[in-house]
Structure 1
Amino acid sequence: MTRDVVEKIPFEEALDRTGYGPYNYFQTATTGLAIVAYALVGFSGTMVVPTSACELGTTPAQQGILAAIPFIGYILGGVVWGYLGDTRGRRRMLLVSLSLAIFFNTLVSLSINWIMMLVLQFLTTIVSTGQYTLAVTLLSESAPMAKRNLVMLLVASTYILSTAAMSGIAIPIIPLKFSYSIPFLGIFWNSWRTLVLVYSAPCVLCLLCVLCLHESPKFLLLKGEEEKAMKILRSIHRINHRNSEEKFQVTGVLPEQNNTTKLEKSRMDIILPLIKTPLLKYTIGLTVLSLCNQISPFIIWFPKIANQFVNIIQNGDGSNQNLCGIIENKDTVLSNIDAAPCSLNVPSLLITIGLSFLTSAGNLILCLVVNYTGRRNLVIFLTLALGVCGVATNLVHNAYGSGVLFLIFCFGLVINGLYLAMAVAFFPTSVRATAVAFVGTLGGVAKFAGTQILNLLLQNHCEAGFYIFGSLFAFSAIVALFLPDDRMVVKAAPRKKSFDCEKTP
């Protein structure tokens, strides 16, 4: 058929005909902003927990709970928002998630003790989890197939950059010395409370941007609202071809095989396909990969580790030590009168920013090669190589050499984007948002436990922490070998007739 013939065609072909232009650029940027906003309100504890320790009087154990509680919020919120997205719409629920995140994060800034902060941070993470899963799902279902891998990895880069944003915002705010009494709450408004409030700003901006986006046309088609889906496709085409006379010559979209059932179904109707063949193998594989992905606990504690590293190096006491020797050298840090116990020094925040930019740059390089290598194959290579670096971190008794190996190990954060892209490729539209959330839920359980375990190990058995977590990450390469090459899944899609992930682009 020629492109000037009015016709009824499959959804993916119709989406391809809308082109890739300004609408997609704006949506990709909005998705990236949503992910950064989620990280800032959901995981602000990375910066806030150590800087609020003096006022709230938190112990190391309490700080560990505060730092890890976002993972529990992600666990409980992930499946709920996935289900709501699959039944009520991606865009609508994304707006609800953003609004609630702004409200609860504002309350976090008014915490009067660590218990109140714990509860409010927990609620903030639950409501903000939808920003990640729903924004990514909305993007994946609105981008042409040829650009899908690229945009998924691009938005993954923004998640990595969120750590840089977190540190960059903290640098000018944390050192501020102001303190204003709020008598009726019995607290003082100071720099760390201001930082928490400022972290809500991206949510506000993202909310305004999402109001300018359309609902997922694929969601509407699956729901049986073909006319609404066609209206959105025409609008996207018009925006992408605003300087062209080309018309969107499509009269309708063919229903997808076995996907014509409306989405008003029970929770179990959506979850059950994930634990039955043929999707079960993908659910198990991606879940195990998520369980083995224990880079996040190191990222949570990275500012504190970097702070310790800088203090030791500045004192000239640790050049011949490995990283664990530096971490365990508490006496040297305490003897430094310039080291404030409830603050992070600027060099450590700059190191955190540097790690974020380097990791994001590496992720962009992956964007250039992923279509040639495949996501699964990249996972095999990266998890094995980076896991070995994690194990080797404390085999090098030189502060700088050990530190470099640790930074390379932390590069494993890019794996999150690859796992997400694999989930999008493997699971069909009707369960995709739930699948992404479900796989991440069990991974969140492991990350919560991992954050607590790592906190304990760093204080008592530091080297064991690197050996265990590094080996676990390297083991992911073996698990990934049992998953199919995602490039073959995409190629096989047009030939599949059964309800399985092979149909999904």
Structure 2
Amino acid sequence: MADKSNKFDEKLPFEAAIDKAGYGLYSYIMTALAGVAIISFVCIVFASTIIVPTSACELGTTGSQQGLLAAGPVVGSLLGGILWGYQADNRGRRKMLLVSLCGGTIFNLVASISVNWIMLMIFQFIAALFASGLYSMSMSLLSESVPMAKRNLVVLLVSSIFLLSQGIMAALAIPIIPLPFSFHLPALGIYWNSWRTLLVVYSSPSIITIIWLYFMQESPKFMLVKGHEEEALKILRVIHRINHFRSKEEFEVLGLQQEAGQEAALTSSVKEQVAPLFKMPLLKYTIIMTALFVINQVGAFLVWLPTIADQFVRIMQTGENSDLNMCQIINTESPVDDSVTPCSLNETSLLIVLGVGAMQSIFNFIISIVVNQVGRRNIVMMVTALCGVSGILVNLIPSALGSAVVFGVLTLGVVVVGLYTAITVSLFPTQLRALAIALAMTGGRIGSFASIQILNLMLVNSCDAGFYLFSSLFAASAIVASFLPDDRRGKVAALAKEETHKNELAIKTGND
């Protein structure tokens, strides 16, 4: 026994133990799984960006009804976000991910047989209500299953997949939406056509994720926080064994140390668990992160991107109007092409959406390479300032191509979502992490619901003002982010230690 004690560490903090578990095959599998879960989230919550315009002819929707259809899933994700964050912090990331995925998949499939736009809106709303926690829960599960040194990298890599997800949706739509088939289903009084088929296809990532997740482990840190030390050790041993499958190296840890403040979290009520987020020192970061998510409304432009891209392509195909800016193109009446299936999106426009997603993903990958040297906060400040100013300039350029390029730079601003998530993960302790992410993202979704409706109206009635308003707000994010701590390499370890100590003391004090 003495020899074993010499070889094995008796009790280690979680971060030291996860470092010993290593970064390898299990980490890669978990990162890929989180990426597919994020694609599942996007295919359910943002399916309306493709479905709304392509279903318009059959459902006979007006402009305002299309705005409500687009916003329905956003409302669902808004109402469900905090609920799933709380459930994940209390019942487990993996378990709640499975429930969320199953519910979202079922209701998204039912939405495909909607008989009118109201039924479609209701079932997409419910599907989004279930799927709303997929982003925060998968990010929490991933970040708690890899060593701290690799946490920034994997979160930003998965964020790159998130950014590419709308492009993946467009790629799935390209071979399906133009199909002219239409089969009458007399029992329902509907016609089964391409947009309904696409909704079914958009459920496939969720089905894949459910099967994949079934074979994965719960977050070891969650199990430790809940007092299940032996279960946490078993999970860490599995992670270690898969990460080191080519060697016979043993996991040299016999026990895990409970961190300060975690014991109180085991029996905390809803009020006691939420309260620390609204007390110092966490209150400052709760306000800052929520504010950053709220004023980040580049996503509103991405909701209407397929429609904007379709209009841009149709106008450019006339060979005229090359001297128009983006708003002038949006408000120009496009010619009718009788050879095209009514309400189908132009294939070139879907390729543009795919290209924008790829561009965002590449940009995010570049950020992931330099993030440790530059710091997440500093990158946020630079990106929001650059993209916000670009949005202001979009309609000041009297060239269709030039205006489109600057508009593309504006859409790159969505990459900050991954940075915001990584910052939130680093600032909040484990027992509040999923809830903190969900709270901040819920603030963003409240803003999204309003901005989607406002932008839908402004693009038609006051397009220039819409660009100036949302771009100026986004540029202001640089000022808000400046109040976050500097997390450049060399300061990360000290910052993490300091913030964790302060935050856990706050939780312990709040529960005493």
Equivalent in the alignment of 1:429: 430
Give the one of 224, 231, 234 matched to 2:234. 231
Per-residue deviation, residues 472-492 of structure 1 (Å, max 9, x unmatched): 110000111111113446423
8 Å contact kept, 2:276–2:506: no
Per-residue deviation, residues 89-114 of structure 1 (Å, max 9, x unmatched): 11011111111111100111010001
Q: Distance in 2 between matches of 1:392 and 1:16?
A: 47
Tell me, yes or no, if structure 1 residue 355 matches structure 2 residue 356. yes
Change (3 A) 1:174 1:372: same
3-state SS of 1:188 partner: strand
| Cα drift, residue 70 of structure 1 | 1.8
3-state SS of 2:12 partner: strand
Question: After the TM superposition, which residues 21-32 of structure 1 pair with which residues of structure 2 at under 5 Å, given as runs?
Answer: 21-32=24-35
| Cα drift, residue 180 of structure 1 | 1.0
Change (3 A) 1:28 1:261: same
3-state SS of 1:260 partner: helix
Per-residue deviation, residues 55-114 of structure 1 (Å, max 9, x unmatched): 011001010111122221111110000010011111011111111111100111010001
Q: Distance in 2 between matches of 1:119 and 1:52?
A: 15
Q: Which amino acid aligns with 2:478?
A: A
| Cα drift, residue 149 of structure 1 | 0.2
Equivalent in the alignment of 2:152: 149
Q: Distance in 2 between matches of 1:414 and 1:494?
A: 27
| Cα drift, residue 334 of structure 1 | 3.7
Q: Which amino acid aligns with 2:129?
A: I
Q: Which amino acid aligns with 1:481?
A: S
Equivalent in the alignment of 2:123: 120
| Cα drift, residue 263 of structure 1 | 3.3
Equivalent in the alignment of 1:451: 452
Equivalent in the alignment of 2:256: 253
Q: Distance in 1 between matches of 2:125 and 2:503?
A: 35
Give the one of 76, 89, 92 matched to 1:89. 92
3-state SS of 1:213 partner: coil
8 Å contact kept, 2:371–2:379: yes
Q: What TM-score do you get using the length of structure 1 for normalisation?
A: 0.96
8 Å contact kept, 1:4–1:249: yes
Per-residue deviation, residues 28-66 of structure 1 (Å, max 9, x unmatched): 000000000110011100100000001011001010111
Equivalent in the alignment of 2:75: 72
| Cα drift, residue 354 of structure 1 | 0.6
Change (3 A) 1:501 1:467: farther
Tell me, yes or no, if structure 1 residue 407 matches structure 2 residue 408. yes
Give the one of 262, 268, 281 matched to 1:265. 268
Q: Which amino acid aligns with 1:271?
A: V
Q: Which amino acid aligns with 1:326?
A: I
Q: Distance in 1 between matches of 2:376 and 2:231?
A: 33
Equivalent in the alignment of 2:53: 50
Q: Distance in 2 between matches of 1:351 and 1:497?
A: 43
Change (3 A) 1:3 1:323: farther
Per-residue deviation, residues 180-227 of structure 1 (Å, max 9, x unmatched): 111111101111000000100010101111011111110110100000
Q: Distance in 1 between matches of 2:104 and 2:381?
A: 36
Change (3 A) 1:489 1:245: closer
Q: Distance in 1 between matches of 2:121 and 2:331?
A: 27
Per-residue deviation, residues 367-422 of structure 1 (Å, max 9, x unmatched): 10001111110000000011000000000010000000001100111011011111
Equivalent in the alignment of 1:365: 366
Per-residue deviation, residues 331-372 of structure 1 (Å, max 9, x unmatched): xx1455456551100000001101111110111000100011
Q: What TM-score do you get using the length of structure 2 for normalisation?
A: 0.95
Q: Which amino acid aligns with 1:181?
A: H
Q: Which amino acid aligns with 1:405?
A: V
Q: Distance in 1 between matches of 2:416 and 2:476?
A: 14
Change (3 A) 1:307 1:428: same
| Cα drift, residue 265 of structure 1 | 3.0
8 Å contact kept, 2:314–2:335: no
Q: Distance in 2 between matches of 1:105 and 1:415?
A: 28
Equivalent in the alignment of 2:164: 161
Of 476-485 and 394-403, the range deviating more from structure 2: 476-485
Question: After the TM superposition, which residues 292-331 of structure 1 pair with which residues of structure 2 at under 5 Å, given as runs?
Answer: 292-330=295-333
Per-residue deviation, residues 130-164 of structure 1 (Å, max 9, x unmatched): 22111111001111001000000000011111111
Tell me, yes or no, if structure 1 residue 179 matches structure 2 residue 182. yes
Equivalent in the alignment of 1:394: 395
Change (3 A) 1:174 1:305: same
Change (3 A) 1:189 1:19: same
3-state SS of 2:289 partner: helix
| Cα drift, residue 292 of structure 1 | 1.0
Change (3 A) 1:497 1:390: closer
Q: Which amino acid aligns with 1:310?
A: V
Give the one of 273, 276, 280 matched to 1:277. 280
Tell me, yes or no, if structure 1 residue 376 matches structure 2 residue 377. yes
Change (3 A) 1:15 1:502: farther
Q: Which amino acid aligns with 1:276?
A: K
Per-residue deviation, residues 1-52 of structure 1 (Å, max 9, x unmatched): x994433111100000001111110000000000001100111001000000
Give the one of 200, 205, 213 matched to 2:203. 200
3-state SS of 1:252 partner: coil
**RMSD after superposition:** 1.7
Give the one of 196, 218, 221 matched to 1:215. 218
| Cα drift, residue 266 of structure 1 | 2.1
Q: Which amino acid aligns with 2:468?
A: Y
Equivalent in the alignment of 1:20: 23
3-state SS of 1:272 partner: helix
Equivalent in the alignment of 2:496: 493
Q: Which amino acid aligns with 1:127?
A: F
Q: Distance in 2 between matches of 1:193 and 1:100?
A: 19
Q: Which amino acid aligns with 1:407?
A: G
Q: Distance in 1 between matches of 2:31 and 2:468?
A: 38
8 Å contact kept, 1:224–1:262: no
Q: Which amino acid aligns with 2:405?
A: V
Of 305-314 and 256-265, the range deviating more from structure 2: 256-265
Unaligned stretches of 5+ residues in structure 1: none
Q: Distance in 1 between matches of 2:146 and 2:506?
A: 17
Equivalent in the alignment of 1:439: 440
| Cα drift, residue 268 of structure 1 | 1.5
Change (3 A) 1:388 1:3: farther
Q: Distance in 2 between matches of 1:3 and 1:34?
A: 42
Q: Distance in 2 between matches of 1:179 and 1:19?
A: 53
Q: Distance in 2 between matches of 1:190 and 1:381?
A: 45
Equivalent in the alignment of 2:510: none
